[in-house]
A and B are shown apart, each in its own frame.
Chain A
Amino acid sequence: MTILDWLKRKSGLDIAADQYRYGEDPVLGYTSMRKHADGWVNSTCGYCSVGCGMQLGVRDGHVVSVRGNPDHPVNQGKLCPKGLAEHYAIESEGRARFPLLRKQGELTRVGWDEAISVFVERFRAVQAKFGAESVGVISTGQLVTEEFYALGKLVQLGLGTRNYDGNTTLCMSTAVAGYKRSFGSDGPPGAYEDLELADVILLIGANVAENHPILCSRLEANRSRTLIVADPRVTKTAMMADLYLPVKPRSDLALVNAMIRVVIAENFCDMDFVERYTSGFDELRASVEPYTLEYAAEITGLAPDLIHKTALLYGNARSAFIGWTMGVNHSTKGTETVNAINNLALITGNIGRAGAAPFSITGQCNAMGTRETGFTSGLPGYRKFESENDRRYLAGIWNVPVERIPTKRGLAYPDIIEAAVAGKIRALWIIGTNPLVSFPNIDVLKQALGNLDFLVVQDGFHPTPTTELADLVLPAAIWGEKEGTYTNSERRVSKVNAAVAPQGQARSDFDIFMAIAEKLGCREELFPGWAGPADAFDEWRRVSAGQLCDYSGMTYAALEANSGIQWPFPAGSSLNPAASTRLYGDGRFATENGRANLLPTAWAPFPEQPNKEFPLVLNTGRTVEHWHTRTKTGGIPILQRMSPRAWLEMNPHDANRLGLRPHDRVEVVSARGRVSNVELRITEIVAPGQVFLPFHFVETNANQITQSAFDPVSREPNYKQCAVRVERSTHVRS
């Protein structure tokens, strides 16, 4: 700015009128001219798994605006606040723009050739010294399906390690494990449309109003529904409920078992369905016998009548829908709770029909994609390591000897970290995730990463707490800069497109994987002739053929034309690609005998009960403005402005006892560590004896105090409950 410009501005001659000019845009209507685009690119939102259709407005190589795609069946033109501001993520200051290699302790800019060479040399050197499985890979739910598919082959067949898992183990593996045990396969059986068609909707540990706001319009549109919300905290979603169940923390399993007992005892079962399509009913009935209303009331803190009423509402429903998210999954009893939910749906025949489903609402934009194609807890296409047929089939498609395909899974995410602590994993490749904020009991993770000989972090953002520890940072393209597909919670596969070139020297994860394969010398073998994601998609379609997640009838063009298609969509399918579909409508499940399993489950108290030293139960969760560890949303001014920092919710009863006042700064202390200088919110939305802390903020990282306790089946952490005490901060920073 020249002095003359400055004078003009300060004197008031210049009021930046050009910058604030409005005009008519053919797509946006009358808006600020800064938002006007020359062209629009259809894509899918890159935040959560609702999978909203979006359009990105591009002018002069920049994404200047976004809007919801009015023709997309998921969101019909609407977006949540994160989506409405998503274009700011692309050019945000915190993007990783150049490969960085640690030299003399400092991350130093290097070229891609050097970065890839060092990557391969160091990984091969570690493997040569400590064995092939001494290297681990932790990926994400943020990549496109084509990249997940390519990465699985690259890691398992190219790099040659089974110790590969995704951060989806921190959120969705419980639902996966539960579905596999009950139905023989992963795959949410319902569709969003069910929220509009069900007459009873039970949400357990799911704050959709905060976390999946675009689904709320479906609840709003369903005028005849009874919405029941079970949550220990009076969430935004609880406020929408017709019946709110203020359950004690982690008592949901007892609630569901008591409901099953009532449903069986009072003959609300669909015995025809049970007899034809399920097995294990007698064992289930015996297993719920202890869950009398009184016993469940004692555990859940609900009145016996309220539990009874809930069971009757569910049992009487023509079509009943159960939705859940992290309240269920983030638990050492998570898998069993999912099985209990599935049991309840199965015995009442509430599955495979319009409005009826036990439905896991997924987290990340493409957690589903990695579940389908992943080569982590299963083989691609929901195939099983243990099945020789599956291994032979894949070996045939891939043209590799069947012996190359592992016969069982490697270590899960928390076990990779344990192995690094023990010195068994010596090099780690972290892709698209920020464990320094998201992994429980962060000190253990820090120890693990400190033990490594080599840490590579591939991410769209730098610096993040995790990239700062890396020996090598590989800058990746993000949403808006690359092509592929995402699958949303209702199994809808939607196209993702590049609107602009990646920032700086960043490359798409797909290109990075191909470059690594090239250097490893396995590109031609594993990815013959692959030039882009479309080639991966083509092979993936063949791999998925005949499986529950059958893509074989899909093409990129068809996905574009229909704004996404739900799987299964086999080649030659007579299904209307635009119609909502459900799984298991024919009563045939993906188990060996085709019957769904009714599985006995048992409630147990959460692992770390409050005690004299740590008398409060800590609950963690989210706020609508932010996404996960804020690498993406923390750099977006409007979101950061609306939600600038963390807070701790505490009931007035506890605050009075502790002599604390609103807006005091407090410390939250557990046996493992402390979170300092959090602003206190004294509120009746949490119960006495409980406190709530959002987990997005590295500055006040909830995972300083969470514990290392994991579900025995899914390996998902028990983030939601641990014992803490709260004390006033002595050194107040404002």
Chain B
Amino acid sequence: MELPLLERARNGDDAFPLAIDAGDGQMASFCGAGMGVELPAPPGPGEQYRFHFDMTKCIGCKCCVVACNEQNGNPAAIQWRRVGEIEGGVYPNAIRHYLSMGCNHCLEPTCLTGCPVDAYTKDGVTGIVRHSADACIGCQYCTWNCSYGVPQYNPERGVVGKCDMCYGRLTQGQLPACANACPEGAIRIETVHTTAWRREYGVKANSPGMPSADDSLSTTRISLPARLTPDVRKVDINRLHLEHPHWPLVVMTVLTQLSVGAFTSIWLLEVLSARPHRAAAIVALLVAMLALAASTLHLGRPLHAVRALKMWRRSWLSREVLLFTLFAITAQGYSAALWMGIKQSAFLGSLTVLFGLCGVGASARLYLVPGRPAWKSPFTILEFYLTAMLLGSAGANVLYGASSWATPTMVTAVAAVFAGGIAKMIWLARSHQHERRGTFTLLVTDLSNLLTARILLLFAGLLLLALAPAGQKEITISIAAVFICSEFVGRYLFFVSVVPTNMAAEYLHAEAA
């Protein structure tokens, strides 16, 4: 039988020693002194290390959190290990327990599969999901992909970081900092047989207050207390707050969609109506360039943006970058061809449109992540294409002067936006997932003014369309501007209203220290 992981370890390709010498001096002797916490033997073939968290022992003291931050030199705002609280029952039979979680070192890590630069590796011997700060470009896609919120972006460094089970300590035969610090012996390291775990994880890795282990096959074993009533849930469940707007991404997605939509219109007009326009494509191209430039501002390490192409076989983010790069290249060619009046420009146009539309698809698809339930639906794909349709036709309407095809296209798009929006709100409100209901609540409470503004902007656009004397430049520009504003508001709402999945937190929202 072939054992590639074992092979790799034996060949010395990996720093992890097959035999840990636990007896070398004082270190091993004080690790977990008095609590009988010890490091198990290194994992054998088909095995990996995992955390065991014993909820029956945890008293919520958060020693693990402090010890983790000391171990890794992290600032207070970044906690690779966190403690949250769950609660249920009725006084005096109230039930309160704590969850402590670092990384779950999943069998199918979604952080890893989404990463565009291959910064993540699943260690062959230990199964530890490791992250390379050197390889990372700070795109933060993993922070959306992990349903446990494990990877955290460090703005001071421009890269993400996460719990690596104190890999460096394990290689020296030392316990991870959290397990070492726990006064109750509630955190331990165990070995687990991965095939067996695929059968068992459903029962042993899930807990109230935790996202489903199905998303990535968490390996953390959680021992639950015998007495847990069904109403036990996370104490922060009613606490909703707006997520980061990711302004560069708001700009980038809306403008790429505008550009792709515009190129599609330009190409269709060229092919169907034989109305080539020398300058229109240049404008659309400038918009595309602006969008792509904006996207790099989202990166913690914009200079390394090109690395994002690397994982196109696996990562939707890489695919988005690749497709939009191809779109930009072909769009340049197409624009040049139109400018110079080259006859075969339509072929280049078709390539541009193909790459652009695929790019919008990839762009939408990458938001369908486990950690952001409100995004994870076909509505996201529909919304992105409708933005392209609406803004593309509105843009072309300006460049070409009002025309018979533009108004019905825009009206159709707006109607679809309304229909899709209403359907999405109903779907969110009636969801069994509290994160989706939370998004609905945010949209109708904290964000209700902006949501109203978006609806009014769409109506305003329709009104202008109805009133517009054909071909009047000021009106067509106004219509486009109103719709662009509407889509910016819509995209802003998309980003800030999402409620991430996560482990239970503390009751109070942490403020910057």
Contacts and interface: CB of A to CB of B under 8 A. Distances in A.
A574 interface: no
Interface stretch (A377-385, A408-416, A680-688): A680-688
- Name, among A9, A20, A639, A640, the residue most crowded by chain B CB atoms within 10 Å (CB to CB): A20
Interface string B36-74: 000000000000000000000101111101110111110
A244 interface: yes
B53 to A, nearest CB: 15
Contacts of B347: none
Interface string A552-569: 000000000000000000
Contact of B133 (A15, A81, A647, A661): A15
A642 B133 contact: no
B474 interface: no
A13 B138 CA distance: 12
B122 interface: no
A651 B34 contact: no
Given A84-B66, A641-B76, A684-B87, A15 B158 contact: yes
Given A16-B156, A16-B157, A642-B510, A624 B96 contact: no
Contacts of B299: 12
Interface string B66-103: 11011111011101000100011111101111000000
A663 B174 contact: no
Given A15-B157, A29-B169, A681-B507, A640 B183 contact: no
B310 to A, nearest CB: 15
A644 B61 contact: no
Given A13-B303, A70-B30, A70-B33, A240 B172 contact: no
B238 A77 contact: no
- Name, among A32, A34, A246, A642, the residue most crowded by chain B CB atoms within 10 Å (CB to CB): A642
Contact of A685 (B63, B96, B172, B174): B96
A22 B508 contact: no
A17 B513 CA distance: 23
A449 interface: no
B146 to A, nearest CB: 21
Interface string A62-103: 000100001000011111110011000000000000000000
A638 B66 contact: yes
Interface in A655-712: 661-663, 679, 681, 683-688
A121 B158 CA distance: 58
Interface string B125-155: 0000000011001100000000000000000
B87 A81 contact: no
Given A20-B133, A685-B91, A77 B30 contact: yes
A30 B133 contact: no
A125 interface: no
Given A15-B157, A32-B73, A84-B70, A236 B91 contact: no
Contacts of A33: 73
A216 B58 CA distance: 10
Given A244-B92, A642-B62, A663-B238, A84 B67 contact: yes
Interface in B155-188: 156-159, 161, 166, 168-169, 171-172, 174, 177, 181-185
A65 B300 CA distance: 30
Contacts of B70: 31-32, 35, 65, 84-85
A624 B182 CA distance: 14
B61 A81 contact: yes
Interface in B186-243: 235, 238-239
Nearest to B97: A239
Interface residues of B, number: 73
A637 B96 contact: no
A449 to B, nearest CB: 31
Contacts of A32: 70-73
A12 B75 contact: no
Interface in B218-277: 235, 238-239
A643 interface: yes
B456 interface: no
- Name, among A24, A32, A34, A239, the residue most crowded by chain B CB atoms within 10 Å (CB to CB): A239
B511 interface: yes
A78 B181 contact: yes
Contacts of A304: none
Nearest to A16: B157
B67 A644 contact: no
A417 interface: no
A30 B166 contact: yes
Contacts of B108: none
B302 interface: yes
B470 interface: no
A520 interface: no
- Name, among B65, B171, B183, B235, the residue most crowded by chain A CB atoms within 10 Å (CB to CB): B183
Contacts of A246: 91-92
A217 interface: yes
B27 interface: yes
A645 interface: yes
B181 A79 contact: yes
A75 B69 CA distance: 21
Nearest to A52: B183
Given A65-B70, A688-B91, A624 B60 contact: yes
A716 interface: no
Nearest to B169: A30
Contact of B59 (A10, A213, A688): A213
Contacts of A214: 183
B463 interface: no
A33 B96 CA distance: 38
Contact of A30 (B60, B76, B94, B172): B172
A12 B304 contact: yes
A471 to B, nearest CB: 33
B298 to A, nearest CB: 12
Contacts of A688: 91
Contacts of B65: 81, 638, 642
Contacts of A104: none
A637 B156 CA distance: 16
A641 B505 CA distance: 13
A209 interface: yes
A625 interface: yes
A733 to B, nearest CB: 12
A234 interface: yes
Contacts of B161: 20
A11 interface: yes
Contact of B34 (A77, A639, A640): A77
- Name, among A640, A651, A681, A684, the residue most crowded by chain B CB atoms within 10 Å (CB to CB): A684
B35 interface: yes
Interface in A1-43: 9-13, 15-17, 19-20, 22, 24, 29-35
A220 interface: yes
24 contacts: A12-B299, A12-B300, A15-B133, A15-B301, A20-B161, A29-B174, A30-B166, A31-B70, A32-B71, A34-B73, A70-B30, A77-B30, A77-B34, A209-B59, A216-B59, A217-B35, A244-B92, A246-B91, A624-B61, A625-B62, A684-B88, A684-B89, A684-B90, A684-B91
Given A31-B169, A81-B65, A647-B507, 16 more contacts: A9-B158, A16-B156, A20-B157, A30-B172, A70-B29, A78-B35, A78-B183, A80-B61, A84-B63, A209-B61, A624-B60, A641-B510, A641-B512, A642-B510, A643-B506, A644-B510
Interface of A: 9-13, 15-17, 19-20, 22, 24, 29-35, 65, 70, 75-81, 84-85, 209, 213-214, 216-217, 220-221, 234, 236, 239-240, 244, 246, 624-625, 637-645, 647, 651, 661-663, 679, 681, 683-688
Interface of B: 27, 29-30, 33-35, 57, 59-63, 65-67, 69-73, 75-77, 79, 83, 87-92, 94-97, 133-134, 137-138, 156-159, 161, 166, 168-169, 171-172, 174, 177, 181-185, 235, 238-239, 299-304, 506-513
A-B pairs, top 6 by smallest CB distance, nearest first, are A12-B301, A32-B73, A246-B92, A637-B76, A70-B30, A637-B513
